Amino acid sequence: MAALSEEVLLVVKRVRQRKQDGTLYLMAERIAWGPEGKDRFTVSHLYADIRCQKISPDGKAKIQLQLVLHTGESTNLHFSNESTALKDRDAAKDLLQQLLPKFKKRANKELEEKNRMLQEDPVLFQLYKDLVVCQVISAEEFWANRLSINNVDHSLSNNKQEVGISAAFLADIRPQTDGCNGLRYNLTSDIIESIFRTYPAVKQKYGENVPHNMTEKEFWTRFFQSHYFHRDRINTGLQDIFSECAKQDEKGLKSMVFQGVKNPMVDLLSLEDKSLDEGYGSNSTAPSTSNTNKTVKENSNSAIIKRFNHHSTMVLAAGSGKKADAPNGQACETSSTDGNSRDSDFFQPPIKKALTLYDGTESQTVCFLSKRNVIEYEDLHRENGKKTVALNLKKSDSVLSGSALCTASCAIAALSPGGVLMQALAQQAINQMVPNDVQGELKHLYTAAGELLRHFWSCFPVNTLFLEEKVVKMRSNLERFQMTKLRPFQEKVQRQYLSTNLTGHLEDMFQMAYNKFHAWQTRRMMRKT
Amino acid sequence: MKLNIEGLLVYFPYDYIYPEQYSYMLELKRTLDAKGHGVLEMPSGTGKTISLLSLIVAYQREYPLEVTKLIYCSRTVPEIEKVVEELRKLMEFYSKETGEKNNILALALSSRKNLCVHPEVSSLRFGKEVDGKCHSLTASYIRAQRHSNPSLPSCRFYEEFDAMGKQVPLPAGVYNLDDLKDFGRRKGWCPYYLARYSILHANIIVYSYHYLLDPKIADLVSKELSKKSVVVFDEAHNIDNVCIDSMSVNITRRTLDRSQANVETLQNTILKIKETDAAKLKEEYRRLVEGLKEANVARETDIYMSNPVLPDEILQEAVPGSIRTAEHFVGFMKRFLEYLKARLRIHHVVQESAPQFLKDIFEKVCIDRKPLRFCAERLRSLLRTLEIADIADFSAITLISNFATLVSTYSKGFTIIIEPFEDRTPTIANPVLHFSCMDPSIAIKPVFERFQSVIITSGTLSPLDIYPRILDFRPVTVASFTMTLARTCLCPLVVGRGNDQVAMTSKFETREDFAVIRNYGNLLLEMSAIVPDGIVAFFTSYTYMENIVASWYEQGILENVQRNKLIFIETPDAAETSMALEKYQEACENGRGAILLSVARGKVSEGIDFVHHFGRAVIMFGVPYVYTQSRILKARLEYLRDQFQIRENDFLTFDAMRHAAQCVGRAIRGKTDYGLMIFADKRYARADKRGKLPRWIQEHLTDGSLNLTIDETVQLSKHFLRQMAHSIHDISNCNVQCFCQLNLSQEDQLGLSLLTLEQLQSEDMLQKIAQIAHQA
């Protein structure tokens, strides 16, 4: 079972789905459920696909967990182990609660990242249009290798824009009655973050108490029960852990007030030039407004007013202050791509070296993935370099975007005397014979084909089921590309320039791939029979 | 540009002029010509200050013998600074145009707190501390003592100034507070005393009201100012209250206790001095026999401005024998204190007039009227003789002595109210004796009498006729100017009903009504959704705001408002409010948008401007009537009715409407500004309320914008805001005092609300201008 190589974080037995008993697995990247006695999953969701989870109310007889997907579908899981059902459910819920936000963020981030890459790189965009928009390959396949490459260098320049805080975040926690004299507060990770950013004192308390002294749930329950959350903060009991927070807030507010304001236009204290001395004036009945002769109601009213001022100030500060402790958890979160890249270490994507061929006019780029191939080629280069002067080879470390990929053998074939490239070079410079628009089109074709071939070759060696499927698919993709893109171009070229065989090299590359596929397929058939 | 105002050449430091400015200058010139007083109303943001300054300066140059000095009184320190900056611009223009260096000296004066450069003293936070500390370093006898004992601390800035500063006058130029400080630091002179000394020969003085209206300060600072001065009270809509405040006294038990302690200190000091230096006391006695002749001579020869606390009669007489010796005086004060204490021991409210009080005091403790009148002067003399450094400590006994003098001097215009407890807390005994001035003309009378022209001006003085009546003077010009606008940039709306048709009003009977509060909340919520950036909302009183905020909180309205904007609320604490204000502006600045809940008559409504995006809408919840149950107010209303034939209701409405106008006017500070003015009370629709709004607001209040529902208001507001958002163009250099970033382009305004010199000279424009001034 291929999926077993994934890390399993939690296994819950006796979970029913559609009236079928089974086992629930929470893995690093997805949640899955398989019926009892079978060794495959009938339900499997990537965390990134899950919009939210819902749980049945505490009092209910059936203890359930519902997963709602972004597509709107939902899956109900019923925990049926009588004695531990509640515990199981909560364990699953808590773990999900931790996992989901991570993936949610990643999903958004990925989308943004893709968008950015496309915008920044016109060649890539063209490629995307050629391949994905024309449905030669799926978007997922297109991005499969790209993102992981780019993730590395982009996490370095992590210029994530910070999100402000809604002033009404406390209002968004709509308490609901659950029908039996209780209140339910709905907390999301966003709200929790807002609370922490607005009230650092609460965050500190959280750090101190969770999970040593109490569970997260208990913490928030206490938070909501506390007067700190409610309006009259005057009567905070001593045993309340939040009474200290209230005091800290008070202190913070006082110190802010004491610092005074910078803008003299709003400084009410220095506005008056000469205030009346004490005892003069018509309606100043001596500021004897000590707390003693204020009623409780008035006190709580002014507490509300203070709180609003404080709250707004903190929200404002949280929104504008560039905090130094930017979430650095993101930096190390460079997601590894799907299964194939891990297994196929032979074709590990990071490209260390690339060789660029210059012929003075048209630049063809051939890039080699495998280190071994590069070395081979370098050897060849040494030999060739002596013989042929026309070929000007230059080594470069940079990866050119849209680089075409082919195996060394293919390149050697093309570059050897009598090969397609050499032919072209031996003839006159290509730019003198072919108009610019055709050249451009050819370039696009090359990059697109290169991309497809890269996908194709990256499937070898085919040692997983997934790769098997992929290689078959890629082959059909190649065929489709040849039919829809290459053929029309060839016809067009032939109509105009009968003599030059511009696409010969491309066709060779395709042929090479077909051969390889054929060889692999026959080998597989042989093994099967 | 150079203007010709009825034959007077006026340099105006801008290339363009608003028609109303021209008209304003015309009226001002006529007032000065007639050597009379004037009441002029012109909306804020139309350049009142520069019009005033350029005309009066031109007048001063043209007729140097007629007008020697301009005394410009404003309310707050930032306003004072703004005036000085305008003046600087004007002076630069003068020297550029005429090519010669002008020899006008203009300076701002403020309290020690704002001017002190002494490293230790200036670091103190409160004005009173600074004053006290300064006094302890610079009082004359302290300095005399230093001759024998040089180790005593001194203020080198003052010493330097005293030694050198008076010989050479301050060089001509324009000095704001910082300039004075710089100059003082450079020379090593005390800027405060330098400024106080220099105002005697300065051509233009800019300072706050108190230096002229508060008799205690005016006596020190302003009494020697030349008679041929023009006095301008800017932002004068509240001037009557300033006058009343400066003459009213409150005495609590705490005051009496502290006075008691003061008297004891005095007694001990007298005993000590008697043993060591009896000659000093004798010398004082001799001086008191001679009376206050010097002061009398000075006043008669027209050098001093009269002081209402120091009435003419007592200047001619010697201090009565019963309080002439120090011990007798202290004994006298003790008796007086005991009497006051007994009066505070009551269980019901007492209200009486000054003669009744005098009669009672004579019957009970045999204190005569005459020695009481000399109390203030006698105490001052004693404090001087005893060489007490820190006068601030003796504020309580000074207060009592001032009260004694006032109560025995004025038989009319004051009332005494003794309340055993506050109305809200009848169980807690907190007796207070209010000695309340009801007649603002008493404090301002010396000003009108002494100076040849007094101009009272503000953005909101309507109805104009009431000010001459309550201040008791006869103006030669009374005029109101409107704002000429290229686009209607203000949108006053009267919201009378909620969407459920329940009337919205802060009337006493219905203000706690659930529906009213909810509708107010809905209005705020709806507005918060459609108005960009800042909204300022004013309530009628602080308690009312507290209650409403609490019930909005309970109803969840504020939560919903928070989805749209941040909420900041004024508190009774000034420092806290300042912070809230700053954060409010920050929130408007960074685009988040905010709401400021504030109180009419509060500090925010009086002193803070909400230009441009800081206030795109002002909502006035209710009519800000003063708390009518107060006995002081009742007494004042009675007095107004009896003395000035002003009906109670007229005055109350006038007072409420001027505060409402002040509040909503906070948002419009210039022609390029725009804002909504929402009056959320159905009573505003009535003619008697509407008619008392300033003309420049009234003009835009059409019948279509009266008694709207919330929905209608939202529709009209949306329309208005959309219209305003369109016509914003590039930057132009218009002559409004506050320079604005978002301006109408000049072409849009030119010819309508902005004129070039050529346009100004055209015949029909002059005719149009004549219509702008609205003679009351």
CB-based contact A261 B632, cutoff 8 Å: no
Long-range contacts of range B634-643, CB-CB < 8 Å, 24 or more positions apart? B635/B351, B635/B415, B635/B417, B635/B436, B635/B438, B636/B244, B636/B436, B636/B438, B639/B413, B639/B415, B639/B438, B639/B439, B640/B438, B640/B470, B643/B439
**Distance (Å, whole) CA A335 – CA A325:** 22
Q: Which chain B residues are Cβ-neighbours of A276 within 8 angstroms?
A: 214, 245-246
Residue B608 contacts residue B529 (beta carbons within 8 Å): no
Question: Per the structure block, which two tokens stand in for B451?
Answer: 């100076």
* Helix, strand, coil abundance in chain A, percent, nearest 5: 55, 15, 35
Which chain B residues are closer than 8 Å to A283 by Cβ? 630, 632
Q: How far is CA B715 from the centre of its chain?
A: 38
Which among B245, B250, B536, B588 is the top mutation candidate for probing chain A, defined by the most A β-carbons within 10 Å of its own β-carbon? Answer: B250
CB contact under 8 A, B575 and A281: no
Nearest CA in chain A to B246: A281
Selecting from B249, B566, B573 the residue whose C-beta is nearest the C-beta of A316 gives: B566
Listed in sequence order, the residues at least 6 apart from B38 whose beta carbon sits closer than 8 Å to its beta carbon are: B27, B28, B31, B453, B454, B455, B456, B457, B475, B476, B477, B478, B479
- Tell me which residues of chain B, numbers 118 to 157, contact chain A at a CB-CB cutoff of 8 Å: 127-128
pTM greater than the 0.80 cutoff: no
Chain B interface test: which of A229, A267, A310 (most B C-beta within 10 Å): A267
| Minimal-distance CA residue of chain A relative to B602 | A268
Helix and strand totals (H; E) in chain A: 18, 13
**Distance, CA of A358 to CA of A343 (rounded, Å):** 35
DSSP category for residue B200: T
Longest CA–CA span in chain A (Å) reads 111
Strands A74-79 and A63-69: antiparallel
* Interatomic CA distance for residues B368 and A502, integer angstroms: 125
Dihedral (C-alpha) A258, A259, A260, A264: value to the nearest 10 degrees? 160
Cα A115 from Cα B738, distance rounded (Å): 46
Contact B571 A277 (CB under 8 A): no
CA terminus-to-terminus distance, chain A: 22
The two most distant CA atoms of chain B are separated, in Å, by: 84
B563/A166 CB distance under 8 A: yes
Chain B stretch 166-225, residues whose beta carbon is closer than 8 A to a beta carbon of chain A: 207-208, 210-211, 214, 216-217
Contact assessment for residue A354 and residue A396, using Cβ atoms and an 8 Å cutoff: yes
Query: What is the distance in angstroms between the Cα of B480 and the nearest Cα belonging to chain A?
Result: 28
Interface test with A, best of B77, B124, B655 (most A CBs within 10 A): B77
CA B214, CA A275: separation in Å to the nearest integer?
A: 11
Cα angle: A247, vertex A251, A255; to 5 degrees: 175
Give the type of residue at B113.
K
How far apart (Å, rounded) are the C-alpha atoms in residues A339 and A465?
Answer: 10
Residue B248 contacts A where some CB pair is shorter than 8 Å: yes
A308/B436 CB distance under 8 A: no
Interface of B with A in 421-480 (CB under 8 A): 422, 425, 428, 430, 432, 434, 436-437
Mutation target vs A (from B255, B557, B562; most A CBs, 10 A cutoff): B562
Answer yes or no: are the C-beta atoms of B708 and B497 closer than 8 Å. Answer: yes
Question: What is the percent of chain B where pLDDT is above 90?
Answer: 37
CA-to-CA distance for B88 and B83, rounded, in angstroms? Answer: 9
- CA A21, A26, A27, A29 dihedral sign is positive
What are the pLDDT tens digits along chain A (529 aa)? 444 467 788 888 888 888 888 888 888 888 888 888 777 788 888 887 787 788 887 777 788 888 888 777 888 888 887 788 888 888 888 888 888 777 776 667 777 777 777 777 777 777 777 777 766 677 777 776 665 555 444 444 445 566 777 777 777 676 676 666 667 777 777 788 888 888 888 888 888 887 777 888 888 877 777 766 665 555 555 556 777 777 777 888 888 888 777 777 777 777 777 666 677 776 544 344 444 445 666 777 888 888 888 888 888 888 765 433 333 333 333 333 333 333 333 333 333 333 333 333 333 333 333 333 433 444 444 444 444 333 333 333 333 333 334 344 445 444 544 444 444 444 455 556 677 778 888 888 888 888 888 888 887 777 778 888 888 888 888 888 888 888 888 888 877 765 667 778 888 888 888 888 888 888 888 877 6
Counting Cα atoms < 13 Å in the Cβ hemisphere of B413 gives 20
Q: How many other C-beta atoms are found inside a 10 Å radius of the C-beta of residue B767?
A: 9
Contact B319, B285 (CB under 8 A): no
Kindly report the backbone phi and psi dihedral angles of residue A95, in degrees, each rounded to the nearest multiple of 5, phi listed first.
-65, -45
Q: How far is CA A67 from the centre of its chain?
A: 20
Give the relative orientation of helices A408-415 and A371-387 as an angle to the nearest 10 degrees. 10
Q: What's the one-letter identity of residue A408?
A: A
Give the separation between CA B117 and CA B110, rounded to whole angstroms.
13
Q: What are all long-range contacts of A60-64, with beta carbons under 8 Å and residues at least 24 apart?
A: A63/A89, A64/A89
DSSP codes joined into one string, B579-643? HHHHHHHHHHHTT--EEEEEETTSHHHHH----GGG-SEEEEES-----TT-HHHHHHHHHHHHH
Cβ separation of A286 and B432 shorter than 8 Å? yes
Hey, are the CB atoms on B546 and A282 less than 8 Å from each other?
no
What single letter denotes the amino acid at residue B120? Answer: E
Q: Residues of B123-160 as b/e, b for ≥16 C-beta within 10 angstroms?
A: ebeebbebbbbbbbbbbeebbeeeeeeeeeeebebbbe
Backbone φ and ψ of B578, nearest 5°:
-60, -40
